[in-house]
Amino acid sequence: MLVDRFLHTERSQYQRIDIFDTYRYGRVFALDGIIMTTDLDEFMYHEMLVHVPMFLHPNPKRVLIIGGGDGGSLREVLKHDTVEEAILCEIDPKVIEAARKYLNTSVEFDNPRAKIVNENGVEFVAKFKDSFDVIIVDSTDPTAGEGGHLFTEKFYQACYEALTENGVFSAETESPVLDPSWVKLAYKRIKKVFPVTRLYLGFMSSYPSGCWSYTFASKGADPVEDFDPQKVENFRKELKYYNSDVHKAAFALPNFVREIIRNL
């Protein structure tokens, strides 16, 4: 990735924040040297992380995003008109500040349906019971900054309890090509907590290996069996990646990925 110019660098309380422009990927936002978003492909990641659970819930009104300080997941959540309140719980206020100043993904920060809180996600979610229709974990890598806390069973259990009866959940769960042990660990821990747990995949060009995994979980709804493609066909907002065929296809796992989560 060839860099054109550096725009911003700082060391916050939690991590190093960098923003720079590149020739082929446009503007890039990185935490602790790990790419979080690029103009070219952030839509791939955010649409897959957000719309898979959002379209599974019959009527998502209250949504919690943990992490996701760039705002891309918030933007996708708010495309759903049913949403009355979307809370973005980003631990680091400096990420919010930088995103607001430099990133297009922050476009919905001032939407009246959005609420931004700067708290530790693990502690924040533990305050709620039976409260959210959808929880989306848009974390950094488990090895970077505060990301590790968002890969613990304790955290997943708190998410389960904060969800309503029909609640659905998604989390980014790393690359099955380069970090299969993280995929396995996250999937296994989520599966211990939720009765329905399904791994799915999407392209994400600027992330290591370009092959990214997400884990869907719910208290009962199956992301393929209970999916209604008509809801997506009727959706009137612009989507650049996600569609009803992609939704179903994302759960078809190559053999080497099936192998990672076999017998868990």
The residues assigned a catalytic role are 138
**Interaction between residue 241 and a second copy (CB under 8 A):** yes
Instruction: Name the residue nearer to a second copy (CB basis): 13 or 209.
Output: 209
8 Å CB contact between 192 and 248: no
Shortest Å distance, C-beta 25 to a second copy: 9
**Euclidean distance between CA atoms 171 and 30, whole angstroms:** 19
Strand 132-138 and strand 163-172: the pairing is parallel
**Interaction between residue 126 and a second copy (CB under 8 A):** no
Residue reference for tokens 């660990």: 185
Q: Which of 8, 11, 24, 115 binds a second copy (CB under 8 A)?
A: 24
Site string for a second copy, 200-239 (x = CB under 8 A): -x-xxx---xxx---------------------------x
> Between helices 153-162 and 180-193, what is the axis angle to 10°?
40
**Euclidean distance between CA atoms 20 and 230, whole angstroms:** 40
8 Å CB contact between 218 and 162: no
**Interaction between residue 253 and a second copy (CB under 8 A):** yes
Instruction: Name the residue nearer to a second copy (CB basis): 148 or 210.
Output: 210
Query: What are the residues binding a second copy (CB under 8 A)?
Result: 24, 40-41, 43-44, 177-178, 201, 203-205, 209-211, 239-243, 245-246, 248-250, 252-256, 258
